[in-house]
C-alpha cells in the first residue's frame, strides 16, 4: 500500500515535470531555457530511478535503478548551478564549467563499475519484503564523494540566489525565494537520508523532487522565472557595439550591456528592478512619456560632447501584450562632427575662420530687416588692407596669409559679440554693426583702424606694420543692404585716394 502511494506521488512529479518542460520549450527562449530543461531532465532521471527501485522484483533490478538514479543525483546540482548562474546573470569561466561536469562524470563511472572495484559500494542488497522496497548498501571508501560534491554545488547555487535576493529589486524576490526553496528541500531530504531518519526507509530526495517541481512550476507560470532578458538577448547580440538597455513596462531596469553602462553611468549602480528616474542622470527622452508615447529616433549629447541616436522599441509578448521596451543607442559623434565641419566650410572663410561672404550676406540681410523694424541705426563698415600686394611680393604668400589671419584676429578682439564680421574678398573685410549711433560709430571705426596698425605683426624673423583704409555707410530703409555696401565701397575708395590708413564716412 505504502509502496503504491509512493509510486503515485512519483508519477505525479513526472507529470508536473513534463508540463513544465513543455511550457518552457514552447513559451520561453534563450540560455535559461536550455539550462532549465536540462535541470528538469536530470530531476526526472532521479525520480525515474527511484520509481524503478521501488517497483523492481530482483536484486539486479535494484542495482540498475540505482545506476539510473545516480545519473540524475550526480548531475542535478551542477546543472542547477549553471541554471542559477544564468538566471542570476553570473558569468562562469569555461574551464570551471568543464570541471563542474567532469567530476560527476568520473563519479558516475565509479558508481556504474562499483562491482569491480568497490570504491563506492562494497556490497548492495535489495529488500523486497518491506512496505517500501529499498537497497541496503555497505559504503566504500569514496562513497562520501557522491554526497559531498552535489552538496557543494547546491551550496554554491544557494549562495548566489541569496546574494541576488539582497541586490535585486523586491519584485524578483518571490522567484528567487522559490528557487532557493527548490534547492534547500532536496538538501534537507538528502541529509535526513544520510542520517537514516527516514520512515519505511523511503529515500526522501527523489520524493522531495515533487515539491521542487511544484516550486518550479509556480516560478515559471506565475512569478516570471523567465523574464524579458532571453527575448532581447538576440537583438543585443546583433548590435553588440551599440549600447543596449532593457526596461520592463513599468520603466524598471532589467538589463544593460557594457556599452550602455559605460555611456550611462547611472546604470552601473541600478539594481535589477529599480525604477529609472531622469534625475539620476538618465536622459528623460529615452523613455516613453506618461501616456506611453514613444518619440524615436532621439538624438542627444553628453557632457563629453559626444552625440548619440537612440531607438526605442516596444517588446510585445503573447497576444501583443506589452512586456517592456528595448533601447538601442548608437554613437553618431563622428557623423555629427563631420556634418558640423561641412557646415563650417559652407559658412566660414577657411583661411581666417570668420564668416565667408555668402554667410555674411544672409545674416546681415536678416539683421538689416530687424533694424528697420525697430527703427535702429545700422552701419556697413568696409575696409581693405593697404599695399597688401606689396606684402605678398616682398615676403611671400605664406606671410600674406598670416597677415590676413592676424588682421581678422585683431578685429575680432575689438568688435562686440553681436557685430557681424566677414571676409568680403581677397584682402577686403566687411562688418555690419547696429545698436550704435552716428557719433559712436566714428569712434568705433577709428578703434578698428588703430587695432590693425597700432603695433607691428611679428612672424618669426619677419616683423611688419600694416594699415587699412575704411569706408563707413549708414543703412537706410530706402536703399537696402546692397546699396549700403556700394556706398561704403565708395567711401573706402575715397579713403585710399586721400592717402590710405584712414576712415571715410557717408552718414
Range picked from 192-201, 341-350, 451-460 for highest mean pLDDT: 451-460
Are 248 and 384 within one domain?
A: no
From 221, 247, 279, the end of a domain falls on 221
Least confident piece of the model among 234-238, 392-396, 432-436? 234-238
Neighbours of 319 (CB within 10 A): 5
Are 18 and 153 within one domain?
A: yes
Q: Determine, yes or no, domain membership for 352.
A: yes
3-state secondary structure of 300: strand
Cell representation of residue 472: 563707413
Are 77 and 32 within one domain?
A: yes
What CA–CA distance (Å, rounded) separates 279 from 329?
19
Q: Determine, yes or no, domain membership for 342.
A: no
Q: pLDDT digit string (tens) for 341-397?
A: 777 777 889 899 899 999 999 999 989 988 888 888 899 999 999 999 999 999 999
Phi and psi at 500, nearest 5°, equal 70, 175
At residue 447, the pLDDT reads 95
Between 184 and 476, the more confident residue is 184
Name the nearest CA neighbour of 404 among 418, 358, 412.
Answer: 412
% pLDDT > 90, the chain? 30
Between 233 and 261, the more confident residue is 261
At residue 109, the pLDDT reads 93
Least confident piece of the model among 152-156, 158-162, 181-185, 227-231? 227-231
Are 176 and 281 within one domain?
A: no
Q: Determine, yes or no, domain membership for 166.
A: yes
Confidence of residue 507 (pLDDT cuts 50, 70, 90): confident
Q: Determine, yes or no, domain membership for 283.
A: yes
% pLDDT > 70, the chain? 86
Q: Give yes or no for a contact between 63 and 126, defined as CB atoms under 8 angstroms apart.
A: yes
Phi and psi at 314, nearest 5°, equal -70, 140
Q: Give yes or no for a contact between 51 and 7, defined as CB atoms under 8 angstroms apart.
A: yes
Are 132 and 199 within one domain?
A: yes
In DSSP terms, 434 is beta-bridged to 378
Judge if the upstream peptide bond of residue 434 is cis by omega within 30 degrees of 0: no
What CA–CA distance (Å, rounded) separates 286 from 311?
8
Are 312 and 398 within one domain?
A: no
From 221, 239, 265, the end of a domain falls on 221
Domain of 74 in residue numbering reads as: 2-221
What CA–CA distance (Å, rounded) separates 417 from 342?
24
For position 167, which CATH number holds? Answer: 1.20.1070
Q: Determine, yes or no, domain membership for 341.
A: no
Are 366 and 279 within one domain?
A: no
Q: Helices 173-194 and 204-221, interaxial angle, to 10°?
A: 180
Q: Determine, yes or no, domain membership for 41.
A: yes
Are 215 and 236 within one domain?
A: no
Are 236 and 199 within one domain?
A: no
From 221, 255, 279, the end of a domain falls on 221
Cell representation of residue 358: 555668402
Average pLDDT, the chain: 83
At residue 238, the pLDDT reads 46
Are 353 and 322 within one domain?
A: no
Give the C-alpha distances (Å, rounded to integers) separating 157 from 29, 162, 179, 209, 243: 22, 9, 9, 17, 30
Are 322 and 379 within one domain?
A: no
Q: Determine, yes or no, domain membership for 338.
A: no
Confidence of residue 209 (pLDDT cuts 50, 70, 90): confident
pLDDT at 237 over 60: no
DSSP 241-276: TSEEEEEETTSBEEEE-HHHHHHSGGGGGPPTTPBP
Neighbours of 321 (CB within 10 A): 8
pLDDT at 220 over 80: no
Cell representation of residue 244: 543596449
Mean pLDDT, residues 111-126 = 87
Q: Determine, yes or no, domain membership for 343.
A: no
Compute the 3-state secondary structure of the chain and give helix, strand, coil in percent, each to the nearest 5: 60, 20, 25
For position 359, which CATH number holds? Answer: 3.30.70.270
The count of structural domains within the chain is 3
pLDDT at 503 over 60: yes
Name the nearest CA neighbour of 420 among 363, 466, 474.
Answer: 363
Are 82 and 179 within one domain?
A: yes
Q: Give yes or no for a contact between 205 and 11, defined as CB atoms under 8 angstroms apart.
A: no
Q: pLDDT digit string (tens) for 85-117?
A: 887 878 888 898 899 999 999 999 998 998 888
pLDDT at 303 over 80: no
Least confident piece of the model among 21-30, 267-276, 277-286? 277-286
Between 305 and 316, the more confident residue is 316
For position 314, which CATH number holds? Answer: 3.30.450.20
What CA–CA distance (Å, rounded) separates 76 from 279?
46
Cell representation of residue 347: 559658412
pLDDT at 228 over 50: no
Amino acid at each position: 500500500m505504502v509502496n503504491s502511494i509512493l509510486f503515485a506521488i512519483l508519477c505525479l512529479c513526472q507529470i508536473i515535470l513534463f508540463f513544465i518542460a513543455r511550457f518552457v520549450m514552447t513559451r520561453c527562449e534563450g540560455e535559461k531555457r536550455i539550462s532549465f530543461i536540462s535541470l528538469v531532465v536530470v530531476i526526472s532521471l532521479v525520480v525515474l530511478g527511484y520509481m524503478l527501485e521501488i517497483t523492481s522484483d530482483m536484486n539486479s533490478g535494484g542495482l540498475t535503478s540505482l545506476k539510473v538514479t545516480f545519473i540524475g543525483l550526480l548531475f542535478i546540482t551542477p546543472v542547477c548551478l549553471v541554471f542559477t548562474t544564468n538566471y542570476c546573470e553570473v558569468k562562469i569561466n569555461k574551464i570551471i564549467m568543464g570541471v563542474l561536469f567532469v567530476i560527476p562524470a568520473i563519479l558516475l563511472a565509479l558508481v556504474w563499475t562499483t562491482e569491480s572495484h568497490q570504491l563506492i559500494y562494497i556490497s548492495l542488497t535489495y529488500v523486497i519484503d518491506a512496505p517500501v522496497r529499498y537497497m541496503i548498501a555497505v559504503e566504500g571508501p569514496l562513497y562520501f564523494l557522491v554526497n559531498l560534491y552535489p552538496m557543494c554545488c547546491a551550496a554554491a547555487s544557494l549562495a548566489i540566489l541569496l546574494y541576488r535576493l539582497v541586490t535585486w529589486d523586491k519584485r524578483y524576490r518571490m522567484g528567487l525565494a522559490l528557487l532557493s526553496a527548490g534547492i534547500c528541500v532536496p538538501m534537507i531530504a538528502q541529509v535526513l537520508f544520510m542520517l537514516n531518519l527516514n520512515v519505511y526507509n523511503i529515500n526522501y530526495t527523489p520524493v522531495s523532487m515533487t515539491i521542487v517541481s511544484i516550486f518550479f512550476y509556480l516560478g515559471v507560470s506565475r512569478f516570471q522565472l523567465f523574464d524579458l532578458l532571453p527575448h532581447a538577448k538576440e537583438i543585443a547580440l546583433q548590435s553588440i557595439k551599440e549600447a543596449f538597455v532593457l526596461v520592463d513596462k513599468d520603466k524598471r531596469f532589467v538589463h544593460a550591456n557594457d556599452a550602455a553602462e559605460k555611456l550611462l553611468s547611472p546604470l552601473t549602480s541600478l539594481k535589477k528592478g529599480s525604477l529609472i528616474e531622469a534625475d539620476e542622470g538618465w536622459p528623460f527622452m529615452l523613455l516613453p512619456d506618461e501616456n506611453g508615447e514613444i518619440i524615436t529616433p532621439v538624438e542627444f549629447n553628453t557632457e563629453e560632447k559626444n552625440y548619440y541616436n537612440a531607438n526605442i522599441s516596444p517588446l510585445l509578448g503573447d497576444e501583443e501584450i506589452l512586456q517592456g521596451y528595448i533601447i538601442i543607442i548608437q554613437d553618431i559623434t563622428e557623423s555629427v562632427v563631420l556634418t558640423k565641419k561641412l557646415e563650417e566650410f559652407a559658412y566660414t572663410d577657411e583661411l581666417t575662420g570668420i564668416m565667408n561672404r555668402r554667410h555674411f550676406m544672409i545674416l546681415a540681410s536678416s539683421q538689416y530687416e530687424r533694424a528697420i523694424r525697430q527703427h535702429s541705426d545700422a552701419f556697413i563698415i568696409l575696409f581693405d588692407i593697404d599695399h597688401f600686394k606689396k606684402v605678398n611680393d616682398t615676403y611671400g604668400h605664406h606671410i600674406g596669409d598670416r597677415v590676413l589671419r592676424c588682421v581678422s584676429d585683431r578685429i575680432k578682439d575689438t568688435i562686440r559679440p553681436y557685430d557681424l564680421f566677414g571676409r568680403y574678398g581677397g584682402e577686403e573685410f566687411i562688418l555690419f554693426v547696429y545698436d550704435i549711433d552716428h557719433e559712436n560709430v566714428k569712434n568705433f571705426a577709428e578703434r578698428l583702424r588703430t587695432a590693425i596698425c597700432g603695433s607691428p605683426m611679428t612672424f618669426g624673423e619677419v616683423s611688419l606694420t600694416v594699415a587699412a583704409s575704411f569706408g563707413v555707410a549708414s543703412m537706410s530703409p530706402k536703399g537696402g543692404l546692397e546699396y549700403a555696401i556700394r556706398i561704403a565701397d565708395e567711401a573706402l575708395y575715397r579713403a585710399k585716394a586721400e592717402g590710405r590708413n584712414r576712415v571715410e564716412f557717408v552718414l
